Amino acid sequence: MDLAFDRQHIWHPYTSTLTPLTCYPVSHSQGVYLYLEDETALVDGMSSWWSAIHGYNHPELNQAAHDQINKMSHVMFGGITHQPAIDVCKKLLAIAPNNLQHVFLADSGSVAVEVSLKMALQYWHAKGESRSKFLTLRHGYHGDTFAAMSVTDPDNSMHNLYKGFLPQHIFAQSPQGGFWQPWDESDIDDFREKIAQHHSQLAAVILEPIVQGAGGMRIYHPEFLRRVRQLCDEYNLLLILDEIATGFGRTGKLFACEHAEVQPDILCLGKALTGGYMTLSATLTTKKVADTVCGGEAGCFMHGPTFMGNPLACAVASASLDIIASGKWKQQVQQIESFFAKELVKFEAFEQVKQVRYLGAIGVIETHHSVNMEIIQALFVELGVWIRPFGRLIYIMPPYISQPEHLNKLLTAIKSALNTPECFNQ
C-alpha cells in the first residue's frame, strides 16, 4: 500500500497533518483477526470501535450483503419503502424496550443523536413551550457533529474552539460510584440540583446508560440511572438514552438500560447495528413523542438524509439481529465478563495502574500516566494484538466470539505494555 500517500494526504480520526502517526495497513480480516499486508495476524481487541460484535467476514452477514446487492443496493426512502427496512425495524421493535414504537433510520451514530435532540425540540415546540436546553453528564460522548458535540464533555471535545457557535447546555457531575460498588446516595445530588434548577428550560435529558464510552470509559451504578428516570418523570421530562456503544449485548444485557430496568423516551442505536459491516443508525421513540412531534406546526418530523434506510445496510443489520436473536451472545459476553473478573482485576497490582473496570465484554485499565500512542501501538502490533488506547485508558471490547486464547493474548500484550516504561508519558 502507498503509505507515503496516506501520510501526506489522508486524514485519519483525530490526527495531525503536521505529525502524522504510523498507520498500519490492514488487507483483510477474518473472525477475531485483522491481517496486515505482510500477513501478520492481529487479535482484535476493539471490535472496530464496538461494532464488529460477531467477528469479521461472517458467512451469514456476507450472504445477506450479497443477496441484497444483487437485488438493490440503494433506493431513496422518500415515498418508497422496501423489505430490508421493514425487516430491520420489526426486529428492532421486537427487542427494544417495549414502550418504543417508531423508528427513524439514519446513517451514523452522530446523526441518530442529532435526530433525538431534534425530536425533543420539536416535541416541546408542538406543545407550545419554548425549551432549548439539554441536561447531560460530564465525561459523556455523543458524537462529533455540532449538536452531538454540544452535549459531549466540554473539556474532552474542546468546546472553547467553537465558542459563539456551539449551543451551551447543562452538565451534571458524572456518577463516581462504580457498577460493582455499593450505591452512594450522594452520587445523584448534583444531577438532582441541576434538574430542579433548570427543568423549565429543558427539552430533555440525554446520557449514555451505565457505560460512558469515549468520554472516559466509566462504568457506573444502575441506581444512578434509575434515579435519573424517576427525576425525569417527576419533572415531566423526556429521557434520551444513547446506546450507540452499549446496545446489542455489549454490557451483558441486550440494552444497558435493562441493568436499571428503565425505559427511555428516545433511544439512539448505531455501531453494532450492522455487526460492523457498514454505517447505519436508528433512533426509536414512543407513540406519544412521535404523534406530538407530528401534531406540531411542521406537521412532520423535519429530517430525511439521502441514504436514509439504505437497503444494503438494513439487510445486513437484519441478518445481524437474527444472529443476536439466536441468544448465543449472552453466554459469549458472560464468558468474557467472567474472564475479566478473574484475570483483568489482577492488573490492579501494577504500579502504572490506577483502576481496573469491567462489565460484560468491556475491560478497562486506567493508568496513572497517558500512553505514548506511537510506542504502545507498535508494541501491541509486535505482540500480535490490535488495541488502541487513548489518554490514560487502555481498554478492550473484543468481538463476542473471542475465545480464552484470544483474550489471554490481549491481556499478555497489555501486561507487556504496563511493564514497558517507554509506553507511557512520564
Ligand X SMILES: *Cc1c(COP(=O)(O)O)cnc(C)c1O
The answer to whether residue 115 forms part of the interface with ligand X (CB under 6 A) is no
**Cβ 279 to ligand X, closest distance in Å?**
7
Question: Any contact of residue 245 with ligand X (CB under 6 A)?
Answer: yes
110 is in an annotated binding site: yes
Tell whether residue 109 is a contact of ligand X (CB under 6 A): yes
- Shorter beta-carbon distance to ligand X: residue 235 or 390: 390
Residue 330 is a catalytic residue: no
Is 141 tagged catalytic? yes
Q: 50 Cβ partners below 8 Å, 6+ apart?
A: 213, 244, 245, 250, 271, 272, 397
Q: Three cell numbers at 108?
A: 451514523
Is 304 marked within a binding site?
A: yes
Query: Is position 153 an interface residue for ligand X (rule: CB under 6 A)?
Result: no
Cα separation, 148 vs 110, in Å, equals 6
Smaller CB distance to ligand X: residue 243 or 337? 243
Choice from 45, 213, 360, 389 touching ligand X (CB under 6 A): 213
Q: How far is the CB of 271 from ligand X (least distance, A)?
A: 6
Minimum distance, C-beta of residue 213 to ligand X, in the bound complex (Å): 4
Q: Among residues 271, 277, 358, 395, which one is catalytic?
A: 271
In SS3 terms, the chain reads as CCHHHHHHHCCCCCCCCCCCCCCCCEEEEEECEEEECCCCEEEECCHHHHCCCCCECCHHHHHHHHHHHHHCCCCCCCCCCCHHHHHHHHHHHHHCCCCEEEEEEECCHHHHHHHHHHHHHHHHHHCCCCCCEEEEECCCCCCCCHHHHHCCCCCCCCHHHHCCCCCCCEEECCCCCECCCCCCHHHHHHHHHHHHHHHHHEEEEEECCCEECCCCCEEECHHHHHHHHHHHHHCCCEEEEECCCCCCCCCCCCCHHHHCCCCCCEEEECHHHHCCCCCCEEEEEEHHHHHHHHCCCCCCCCCCCCCCCCHHHHHHHHHHHHHHHCCHHHHHHHHHHHHHHHHHHHHHHCCCEEEEEEECCEEEEEECCCECHHHHHHHHHHCCEECCCECCEEEECCCCCCCHHHHHHHHHHHHHHHCCHHHECC
Q: Is 271 a residue of the active site?
A: yes
CA 272 to the chain's CA centroid: 8
Total of residues contacting ligand X (CB under 6 A) = 15
Residues in region 263-292 near ligand X by CB under 6 A: 270-271
Residues in 87-106 that interact with ligand X by CB under 6 A:
none
Encode 271-303 in three state secondary structure.
Answer: HHHHCCCCCCEEEEEEHHHHHHHHCCCCCCCCC
Q: Which of 61, 89, 172, 214 binds ligand X (CB under 6 A)?
A: 214
6 known member of a binding site: no
Chain position whose Cβ is nearest to ligand X: 109
For residues 204-232, one letter each, b for 16 or more C-beta atoms within 10 angstroms of the residue's C-beta and e for the rest, the string is bbbbbbbbbbbbbbbbbbbbbbbbbbebb
Q: How far is the CB of 324 from ligand X (least distance, A)?
A: 18
**Least CB distance from residue 39 to ligand X, whole Å?**
30
Q: What is the pattern of x (binds ligand X, CB under 6 A) and - over residues 166-205? A: ----------------------------------------
**Per rule CB under 6 A, is residue 108 in the interface with ligand X?**
yes
- Of residues 33, 56, 123, 141, which has the active-site annotation? 141
Instruction: For residue 398, state whether it binds ligand X (rule: CB under 6 A).
Output: no
Residue of 104, 141, 179, 248 that binds ligand X (CB under 6 A): 141
One of 44, 107, 153, 242 is an active-site residue; which one? 242
Among 138, 142, 169, 218, binds ligand X (CB under 6 A): 142
Binding mask 224-243 for ligand X (x = CB under 6 A): ------------------x-
Q: What's the min distance (Å) between Cβ of 110 and ligand X?
A: 3
Nearest approach, Cβ of 417 to ligand X (angstroms)? 24
Q: Residue 310, interface with ligand X (CB under 6 A)?
A: no
- Chosen residue from 31, 55, 97, 143 binding ligand X by CB under 6 A: 143
Of 64, 89, 113, 289, which one interacts with ligand X (CB under 6 A)?
113
Annotated active-site residue 400? The verdict is no
Residues near ligand X (CB under 6 A): 108-110, 113, 141-143, 208, 213-214, 242, 244-245, 270-271
Annotated binding site for substrate: 49, 141, 271, 304, 388
Catalytic residues: 14, 141, 242, 271
